[in-house]
A and B are shown apart, each in its own frame.
Chain A
């Protein structure tokens, strides 16, 4: 199917692991790309078929497929997930989403319930900005600051990164020269992703989740504080909450053993 091939190229889809195993889709969050999963994949690949991809506008996705309109809402990113699931004709896959991708997975699972049979949410937050009776941890002004921070690291991108990343995706040997290339995204696209991520409010969507769900949070996470993890857990009946002894927003990088163990025991209990 041509459309499937296009999606595989567009989202830089890679499939690895055990072809006989249940499919686990690993979805990166705002900031980096599928490289974020490099310490997770080895823990899963013996028993599971592992699907990795980059959202359009991140990593080695096809920049020409980016549309500010489509990716101005999480639905656009969720459609990327749906497209990837359909391109590979997945059934009953486990979707592991980091950060904003946890919510993208919720939206995608509601659209193609037959394709996504379980969710793992790492550091999820359905809303980052405080609201009445809800503490997300940030104010609207804080988010503006992040957008400024993105912009201040802009100059390095345009001069050095853009021509190399955009022009030579087929030359991996350039990787060594590009120290920060994993997280190098066109700042204009990153800005759209940042806005979409941090201005989103998907609290109501949590109620639609009807599949087994694991919520993974860290003891110290600036981006998704523990009360947000508790909110997500509370909003998804039957979900499992695991608090990892880890700091930061990326336990799969900072505490890979604990993170992998939690994911593996959730997966093992699924069938």
Chain B
């Protein structure tokens, strides 16, 4: 149905968005999507997944610049010359952040917008809106203001808004990247239902491969070959993942254990697991830093926004040298807890002690030197025109030596051009800049709110390493608290896990115990090998040790 032939996109020096060197982003890409097929597009961050989807939808190069060659065929007819609006009836495109895409303000009007543009008769629109509301299970939301919806609901409305024009191909860019695990499941379940019931073809870019690969008919890997980054490999998911640089933990485990065929689901892997469990022996013991006096202590903290309670009797203790993960659904109170530790929210009742003081009673500059908080969108911190100016301002306001912030940034993300505009940095670099600015005041407590959004497996691993290093830095007495949805990241980074639900702590303790207590938060390796095994790294370590002849 849809066919890409030799798609090549180059930015020449003048219109490159963040630099001045000519680059080839996509390099001779051939891809076909047949009727009723679900194709997953995977690849490392920043490799051009969104760009490729944009080419299909017609938004690239008209929104990004660059030179496009090759051809896009829809049912054998070339559509590469047609702008996005002339493709809308056949190709439905849903971008990364659905909230930024809404044109109207209620669910019903949003569903009708695309049809209005196509000039469909009013009666047809009426019928299709009803059908779509039912199909996506959002009928009760019809009059709701779009901004009051949860992330998962918004994503479903965004999908519905393109479905109403009955496109033949649905193109989705990371539909679950901002969702908590349950909402992500909902959206992906909706997608598979569309493929199975309606026969819509779907092309979806997704970085949480572990969720979507089981449903994929084919996998298209972009940037898998470091020598030619703009090319793709297309094939059966298990085949392509055999040596892909980005792979879900379960696939890495399969590779490590030499399983054949490569398992894509927990179910497949469990069938092959007993052999490996026997080889591995008992679960590993994670070494923990010597327990010390906690530097953050929260006792029976109650906090409310207006009359709605957000935190109910929360207890929390953070010891220096540890990384603690904070998990829970969207709206469970994670961000509020972080901001309470920072001192912006005053405790309704109960006590908050950070390095021996109540943070809400401190002056702003004292707060900054006790806790460093990196907010959910780190770009909010940045307001100057160059990276160098941001760093200089950070030094000045923290009273640090000139160059302190630059030094930190160089450690976190080497090689950033100081004359760049902060907004032109990549997601990971911007996060690094925000962390560096916050760390310039050398706070003993570091809080991060959802730092893994938009990062791929290697980038997350690097961030995990960095956070552990910061926590363990000799002579620093520092504690790190990370709020996140990402189970696999938690397995990599955290010593302790605290789970919040409806503002209450439902579980707290070492990570290995925490994840075995609640299966929803268990990483894949734990699901396959049982409690105590957290990540592929543990298994690799044990196997290496085993082959060296040191059996426990």
A and B together in one complex: no
Seen from chain A, the residues whose Cβ lies within 8 Å of a Cβ on chain B are none
